[in-house]
Amino acid sequence: MERNELRRYLESKFQEGYRTSYDRENEVLRVERATDRFGVNIRLAPIVAKAKVRGQVAVDEVVNYIQSALTADETISLIGHESEIFPVIRSNSFSKMTKAGEALVTMPHTAETAVFYALDRGDGYRLIEERHLGDGMTLKQLDEIARNNVKKLPTEMKQDQVAGNPFYFLSTRDGYEASRVLNEDFLRMMARRVEGEMLVGVPHQDVMIVADIRNDQGYDAMQQLMFDFFTNGRIPITALAFHYEAGQFEPIFIVGKKNPPTDT
């Protein structure tokens, strides 16, 4: 069974009551409950390798794993699982209610973005609902715990140069890349490194961009990057970049030129 065949087979097993999406670049299939978008990410390459050795049994095991994960009891407890709580950045237009009508826990962030909260389950995470609070944990405590946990995540960034403007990219594939915008220590460290104007971008959930803008071409490059990432991201957030200074984010609209700058 090849990857495309495996993908179609798994998708056929999770139709009614579920939704699926496919990350072609990383060959990851995501299966979510339609009611609350809780789901799991499945890497296809290892399953294909196992299927070549063990046949259909290996594939059936994956189906059973997904079914067990997605039909688990929806009742969750935050107490005792504090290390698994993380903030999640979403667009302000992202629904603050589950399809079942339950209110999600949110906090304001910027004019473009909001903070949601998630309980990490290893292969995916569950957005925390207001009904999950009150079990010995307040919203303030939840927010503090989530922000402290995101500070513990790695912040190594890849650097590129576009027309004399340094660009830094964070993509660790842990699902919380955009959440690093809540790591104030990290942002202050980047601000000390930046020589020009510091722009921050979270075009989708799985990437964070920091740009050191030193000339007009840097703005054009940032606009193009934000648009491309926003268009192709699995969970888009915003195509607008933010000017960052003294702990404050200000969304900016960049009017770009027809021809984007080239790498130098």
In a domain, 262, yes or no: no
In a domain, 76, yes or no: no
pTM here? 0.72
Does 92 share its domain with 58?
no
Does 135 share its domain with 219?
no
Does 59 share its domain with 143?
no
In a domain, 10, yes or no: yes
**pLDDT for 43-90, tens place per residue?**
898 888 888 888 888 888 888 878 877 765 456 789 999 999 999 999
**pLDDT for 153-207, tens place per residue?**
999 999 999 999 999 999 998 889 999 999 999 999 999 999 999 999 999 999 9
In a domain, 110, yes or no: yes
Q: Which domain holds residue 86?
A: 82-150
| Number of domains the chain is built from | 3
**pLDDT for 215-259, tens place per residue?**
999 999 999 999 999 998 878 999 999 999 988 999 998 765 444
For the chain, give the DSSP string.
Answer: --HHHHHHHHHHHS-TTEEEEEETTTTEEEEEETTT--EEEEEHHHHHHHHHHHTHHHHHHHHHHHHHHHTS-S----TT-GGGEEEEEEETTS-SB-TTSPBBPEEE-SSSEEEEEEEE-SS-EEEPBGGGTTSS--HHHHHHHHHHHHHTS----EEEEETTEEEEEE--SSS-TGGGGG-HHHHHHHHHH-SSEEEEE-SBTT-EEEEEE-SHHHHHHHHHHHHHHHHH-SSB--S-EEEEETTEEEEE-----SS---B-
Does 145 share its domain with 181?
no
